[in-house]
Structures are given as C-alpha cells and as structure tokens.
Amino acid sequence: MAKNITPKEQDYSQWYLDVIKVGELADYAPVRGCMVIRPTGFAIWEMIQKYFDDAFKETGHVNASFPLLIPQSFLAKEAEHVEGFAPECAVVTHAGGEELEEPLIIRPTSETVIGHMYSKWIQSWRDLPILINQWCSVVRWEKRPRLFLRTSEFLWQEGHTAHATKEEAIEEAETMLEVYRRIMVDYLALPVVIGEKTEGERFPGADNTYTCETMMSDKKALQAGTSHYLGQNFAKAFEIQFQDKDGEMRFAYTTSWGVSARMIGALIMTHSDNDGLVIPPRIAPTKAVIIPISTNESKLNDEIIPKAHELKALLNKVLGGRYVQVDTQFHMRPGDRFFYHLQKGVPVRLELGEKELEGQKLRVVRRDTGEKTDVLWSDIETALPKLLEDIQNSLLERAHNFRIENTHKVATLDEFKKVIEEQGGFIEVYFAGTKEDEKAIKDLTGATSRCYPLEYENERGKCFYTGKEGARKSIFAKAY
C-alpha cells in the first residue's frame, strides 16, 4: 500500500488529487483554476494526440491554427451561443497601453472565428466540404476548477467542418463520434457509451449534440468527448454561403467536435488504484521499464547495464518507438525504484539482476495485477507485446464490467431515487420529459441525463417521469 496516497475508499477526491501529485502529472499554476501539465502528464497527452490526430487525417481532415483572440461582437452573432458562453469568457480590454475600441474575448471555442473565415473561403459547392481541425487551448472561466476535469484554460482539439447538405453534416458528426468512441475504447481502454444529448444538455448553438459518456470508479459519469451537428445556425450567423450546382445560393451545414485533456482525468479515475497511476499500455508513454539491480558493481556495469540497454533497443524496435526505458537511478534502492515506476503507472516492470543474468531471463511484473513471471531474453520480444495487449484488454474488460455491474434499469421515480441514493451508477430509463422535467429531476436526485444511447435508438417505452408512451431510452447519472 502506498503511504503517500489517500485510499480511494476513504476520500475519492483526495485520492484523485494525490494520484496526480505523486504521479507528477500536473501542478497548480499561480492563477486560480489554471494548471501546469508536467512532463509525465504531457507525455500522455502527446500519446492521446497522436492517435486522435492520425484518425482525423485518416478521415480526411487537415490541421490549421486560428487565433486566440476573437472580437467580442462575434460571439453575439449566434443567440444561443452568446447566452451559453458569455458568462464564462475572459475579456481583454487593454492592449498596447491603451483601452481597446472593441474588447477581445479569449476563445472559449472557435465556431465564431472559424465561421467568419469559412464565409470568406467558401463560394461554390466545389469548396465543400471543408474539414479542418485545430489543436489548441481555450479559456472558460470556471467557478469550481478541478485538475484535468475542469480548469479555466484547457488543452483540446476542435474540429470544424462545413458541408453542402444536412445529411452529409449529420454523417460527419456521427462519424467523428464513432472515431472518438473507437479510440477511447481501443487505446484509452475507456468503455464509453455514445449517444445523443437531451435538449437541456446540448451545446449552445447546436441542433444536436452527441456525446461519449464514461463511468468513473466512483460510479459518477464523465463526458469524455462531444460532436455537434450545428445545422445552419452558424452558417446563417456568419453568412457561410455557397452557390449550389443548380445556381442557387445556400447556407452551408456545419459541425464541430472536440476532446480535451480531461481524458487524462478519465484515465486516472477509470484505471488507477490506491498505489497510484495505472496507465493502459497503448496510451502509456513508457510501456516498460528495465531495472538493473546488483550490489556487485563490476557485474552491474560490465554485464547487467549493457544487457539492459541491449534489451531496451530490441524491445523499442519491436514496439516501434521509444517506449522502453532503463532505470538508472542507482542512488535509489531497488524497492524505491519499483515504487517510483509503480506510482507513475508504467504497465510493465522488467527486473534484471544477477539471478536473471545467470538464467538469461527477466523478472516481469505487471502493474495492474502485480503478477510476476520470468521470461527468457530470447522470448521477451514476443512476450512483452503480448503481455502489454493482455494488460490493455484486461483493463478494458474490468472497466467495462464495472460499468455493466453499476448500470441499473428502473421504471418509476421512486425506484430511481432509491437507486441513486443507495447505489449510484448509471440508471437506464425511458424518458420523454422536457428541459424543465430534467431540471426537476436534478433538483430532486442530483442526477442528470447523460444521453440517449445510440445502442437503443429504436427502443421505445413508457417514460418513468411523465408516464408518456413512446419515450426513448436514456441514461441518468450523477456527473462530473
């Protein structure tokens, strides 16, 4: 048991903060609500970026960079958008030693500037679709910040596309949702539920919002990514028009979609334990660490360390990257070095000492279960990739089972209240209520609608709240 981490059973929030601190993922910045992502945390973000960026390119998107500062008047052009974002915008009023004629907002999201640019770039149906993504940070002034989950400035990716038809734009929003789902499941081992947001939970300015919802190990829900079908709302506000094949001028249909560094919070709260971080191998910047051990200095320097580097080179070649490290912290004793990597969530530890040297093998220890095995040097290049995949699969399976076990079906409000109070987790219900009904349920139980899962798109039943027939199946939960 780690002595520098509060057990999650004792205080979940404190556990989360301790894991971040001990794992050296992030630290507080001098400004309230802002965080510094430290090298260990940023390396995870870089892994996340790599997989998502590759998938965006694979689906035909290109990267660009739009400015941080946006004229305040832009925000006001779309009524719902301004209502949703104005309260959390940071505004620049002075620059160059003078008061600005028009204040500038620091982007809370970029629909408006990008819409402005798209209107300049798009003339003809031949200019469509336009498929651009940007990796950047945005600022939303948060009342209650939490490291990674909700900070005033956060790193994210925002894709913005414009299309000639409604169908194509909806398909884009759904395609990107599926891209998100696939990467979260396959790489981050986050078993997400994808679905549609209710009206009350929709993005300000969207006609429809899709979401990836995931369950944390305290049974609360976390939105890990969203994709929006924006209809013609922004096209009309920013005059994104094109001349169609028939010669008519038409407004384009736009989408936007994003995932943020919040996913690192999701990773922590899904997989980590009371000893610290547990990082799924595919997203782990360091997938295995070789720890040379010996009290015999000449043996250590002449045989063990060279062998460690040789194995590292071999394994990196097999894994296709700089994923295996050799631990050279010889001022620390072996136990300290084991703990160091354990707490940073490195999926596999490879011990190389005199015994292993003798037997031409490695002591292999997996982070998730602590299970130990011995593997011959000659077998490690096939055994390690296989073990990493095993760990990846077992983390996903465990998280998936956890969600299934903590998902409850109820039919009445009384049952709903009882389950939320006594068990928590996800609640599946048929729901046909309004925005106001949702608010009432939240006031009563603390739970909100997370989404209408696409999985149950065609199922209908009687609403647990209003009693109306023909209601869609929805998931409710307490959420971050």
Partner RNA sequence: CGGGAUGUAGCGUAGUCUGGUUAGCGCACCUGCUUUGGGAGCAGGGGGUCGGAGGUUCGAAUCCUCUCAUCCCGACCA
Q: How far is the CB of 258 from RNA (least distance, A)?
A: 6
What's phi and psi for 25, nearest 5 deg? -80, -40
User: Which of residues 182, 322, 372, 409 is near RNA by CB under 7 A?
Assistant: 372
Which is nearer to RNA, 244 or 354 (by Cβ)?
Answer: 354
What's the min distance (Å) between Cβ of 472 and RNA? 20
- Does position 384 interact with RNA (CB under 7 A)? The reply is no
The rounded distance, in Å, linking the Cα atoms of 466 and 197 is: 19
Tell me if 148 sits within 8 A of 164, measured CB to CB: no
Residues 6+ apart with CB under 8 A from 464: 410, 411, 412, 413, 415, 416, 429, 430, 431
Contacts of 315 (CB under 8 A, 6+ apart): 288, 323, 324, 380, 381, 384
Q: Does 336 bind RNA (CB under 7 A)?
A: yes
Considering only 111, 351, 368, 438, the residue that binds RNA (CB under 7 A) is 351
Task: For RNA, give the closer residue by CB, 125 or 480.
Answer: 480
Smallest distance, RNA to C-beta of residue 282, A = 22
Binding mask 60-99 for RNA (x = CB under 7 A): ------------------------x--xx-----------
Q: Does 147 bind RNA (CB under 7 A)?
A: yes
Q: How far is the CB of 85 from RNA (least distance, A)?
A: 8
If one asks whether residue 226 binds RNA (CB under 7 A), the answer comes out as yes
Nearer to RNA by C-beta: 90 or 332? 332
Contact residues for 267 (Cβ-Cβ < 8 A; gap 6+): 44, 188, 190, 279, 280, 283
Q: Which is nearer to RNA, 122 or 293 (CB)?
A: 293
φ, ψ at 34 (rounded to 5°): -105, 150
State yes or no: residue 446 binds RNA (CB under 7 A).
yes
- Using the rule CB under 7 A, is 145 a contact of RNA? yes
Q: How far is the CB of 259 from RNA (least distance, A)?
A: 8
Is there binding between residue 389 and RNA (CB under 7 A)? no
Name which of 137 and 241 has its Cβ closer to RNA: 137
Whole-angstrom Cα distance, residue 243 to residue 344? Answer: 55
Dist CA 475 CA 406 (whole Å): 12
- Alpha-carbon torsion angle 224, 227, 233, 238, nearest 10: 90
Amino acid identity at 24: E
Residue of 113, 179, 342, 471 interacting with RNA (CB under 7 A): 342
Which among 99-107, 258-266, 315-323, 412-420 is the span making contact with RNA, rule CB under 7 A?
258-266
Q: How many residues bind RNA (CB under 7 A)?
A: 67
Q: Give 429's contacts (C-beta < 8 A, 6+ positions apart).
A: 409, 410, 411, 416, 463, 464, 465, 473, 474, 476
CB-based burial of residue 141 (10 Å sphere; 0-12 exposed, 13-18 middle, 19+ buried)?
middle
Least Cβ distance, residue 422 to RNA (angstroms): 16
Closest distance of CB 210 from RNA, Å = 11
Stretch that binds RNA, among 53-61, 123-131, 292-300, 468-476 (CB under 7 A): 292-300
**Residues written for the chain:** 480
> Considering only 47-55, 125-133, 151-159, 319-327, which stretch makes contact with RNA by CB under 7 A?
151-159
Among 89, 193, 290, 365, binds RNA (CB under 7 A): 365
Look at residues 258, 240, 234 and name the one whose alpha carbon lies nearest to residue 80: 234
Peptide bond before 129: cis, by omega within 30 degrees of 0? yes
Q: Which is nearer to RNA, 128 or 380 (CB)?
A: 380
Running DSSP on this structure, what letter comes out for residue 303? I
Structure tokens at 427: 């609640």
Nearest to RNA of 152, 474 (CB atom)? 152
Give DSSP secondary structure letters for 395-414: HHHHHHHHHHHTEEE--SHH
Among 98, 101, 422, 443, which residue sits at the site for RNA (rule: CB under 7 A)?
443
**Integer angstrom CA distances of residue 101 from 40, 71, 72:** 42, 10, 11
Binding site for RNA (CB under 7 A): 2-5, 13-14, 17, 28, 31-33, 84, 87-88, 140, 142-147, 149-152, 154, 156, 203, 223-224, 226, 258, 260-262, 275, 293-295, 331-336, 338-340, 342-343, 349, 351-356, 363, 365, 370, 372, 439, 442-443, 446, 479-480
